[in-house]
Structure 1
Amino acid sequence: MKRLIPIVIAGLIASSGVAQETDVVELETLFVAADMADLSEFRWKKRPVLVFADSEDDPAYIEQLELLGQRPEALLERDVIVLTDTDPEARSPLRLKMRPRGFMLVLVGKDGGVKLRKPFPWDVREITRSIDKMPMRKREIREEKEAARER
């Protein structure tokens, strides 16, 4: 799992042409191993997207990382952090709580609640549409528009 994430990040950087230093830092913080005990550190700050698989060679897992890597700016704009776990033997606290069976995508809101679970890969467009329907995201959009008008 940990060897695949840097490859995805390197591919994103290469495909975007000349990446600025801040872009590289943001991409590195977008994809993180899901080795924390719980998601409390992200509450009210980030929207975790958890990607579970039984192996980093799982075709659905590989496809999901590729889909997420196609539009990282849309995820970063919505305060998304992607947490990955491909080691069922480690029995991580997040895996035990979410109970995936094979591949599973989980979207968690800033409030810490599970917003959706999918047993198959989802593209960024579908994920961002789900996020944009959330009340907190609607408020964020409204506040951004008001701030832009005041400028």
Structure 2
Amino acid sequence: MLKSLMTEIFGVGPHPEETSGNLHDLQWEKRVLVIFSDPAGTKSDSQLHGLMGDKDALRQRDLAVFTVDGNDVRPEFGSDVVPQAHTLRKELGCAPGTFAVVLVGKDGHVKSHFDDVVDPDVLFAEIDSMPMRQAEIHR
């Protein structure tokens, strides 16, 4: 409340890092797929387009999808949390300007790292083979 009063009265808000989230905010709730954009954007656009073609599959697997382009992070599906680009690069080991697709499990650990566009069916099969996902399927 104090932060919102400060914003309202003085026009001063909290530091951006205080309002943005990080991957830990999603731990145990969502699996996370981060798409780091290539300089031309062709690979990242292709990857995102392929994934968005099956939103039911994303929803069933509790998947949050983010794209990182430069310093911009966009929540594309499944989350309103907006991690910082530099934090994602550091935590997931991706250099700026390098295309990558990184899958993070609900436990917060990196499960897969791809350097090229990956077929959504391959991602879904990998998720479906995870022990936590197997337990979800059997419930």
Asked if the contact 1:54–1:87 (Cα under 8 Å) also holds between the matched residues in 2, the reply is: no
Q: How far 1:113 moved relative to its partner?
A: 0.5
1:114 is displaced (CA, Å) by 0.3
Aligned AA (1:138)? Q
Q: For residues 80-123 of structure 1, what are the alpha-carbon distances to aligned partners after superposition, in whole Å with 9 as ceiling and x for unaligned?
A: 00011111598521112222241000000000010000001112
AA aligned to 1:115 is K
TM-score when normalising by structure 1: 0.65
Bigger strand fraction? 2
Cα offset, 1:37, TM superposition: 5.3
Counterpart in the other structure of 1:139: 135
Is residue 93 of structure 1 aligned with residue 76 of structure 2? no
TM-score by length of 2: 0.70
Deviations 1:10-55 (A, max 9, x none): xxxxxxxxxxxxxxxxxxxxxxxxx955311111100000001244
**1:116 partnered with 2:100:** no
Q: Return 5+ residue gaps in structure 1 as ranges.
A: 1-34, 144-151
SS at match of 2:28: coil
Q: Is the 8 A contact 1:51 1:103 kept in 2?
A: yes
Q: In structure 2, what is the Cα distance between the partners aligned to 1:130 and 1:80?
A: 13
Identical amino acids, percent of aligned pairs: 33
Cα displacement string for residues 55-92 of structure 1 (whole angstroms, at most 9, x for unaligned residues): 4x421111111111111110111000001111159852
Match of 2:53 in 1: 70
Higher normalized helix content (fraction of residues): 1
Root mean square deviation, CA, Å: 2.1
Larger radius of gyration: 2
